[in-house]
Structure 1
């Protein structure tokens, strides 16, 4: 019966969420507590080392997700031995290895409430990437529009040689008309002069 009970306990712990902690903790320094294989809400607590049934030293706000991490400022005095416990909606509990908190010159966090926050989720990172991709697409679209406008401007037809030739012909015709008018005026002047000379001779 003891063997069966022990086997059942091992199977239950194998199905429960797993917890990973840094190899060392330092008083009033930040650490990342990670969990994997969670189910539903995740509950992480700090307990005295080797005393699973003891009242938790600290209890963190409920976390969510199959995996994730929680950044905790270690508000436990240096020299104290602790373990981290995690359980989820399965009801089973898993523990970290026993850890001894190292001393530090910083003691401002001692005696204060839990200080920490959930690490940024992967969904937030994906949103940033989507926004970045969207901005890149808009930039590419703007560049394409600019290139299209430049192509349209460069493809606007200029005056053809035949049009210039026609204009030159019109100018030449006008010059010919002006020359003819001058010739007629000159001829008329000559006739008038001849008539005047004839009148004087008479």
Structure 2
């Protein structure tokens, strides 16, 4: 299936340069003379590159066969992550290279969204915040009075900066987009 430029809108998934992409922003331009066109800002879903393209009024843009499935993270075996579809309990195996920077926030039973292109997983969307347990903290930063943070190792193996009052076995909230500490959660 193909879209005409007058059918385009933000959020549509298209194929651009043989890669699935999402339209971030679109601007229709109808000059006084000549043919109308649109300027589109596109984010490529596999390479994460953001590009701008101009399409003329007669151009057709190919629709991407993208499917987003709500899943639950089960476990990993160092090479693959295993997920289960919430609705039909079907399981998916996802290569660690696709999980990339999100790998350090994955805990059992975490709900997330897997995005598939032609039935192959291409990336994962985590919730904006996760709650993780601190398993170790460093005291190295305490010598510097201007720095009120220290490093904490989390149950997933990730290291983040936390305030001095965070202790081992504390449950903390982390922003998965930035990797920053948000707050301590009382049990």
TM range (shorter): under 0.3
Normalization by structure 2: what TM-score?
0.20
Q: Which structure dedicates a bigger proportion of its chain to helix? A: 1
Normalization by structure 1: what TM-score?
0.19
Greater gyration radius? 1
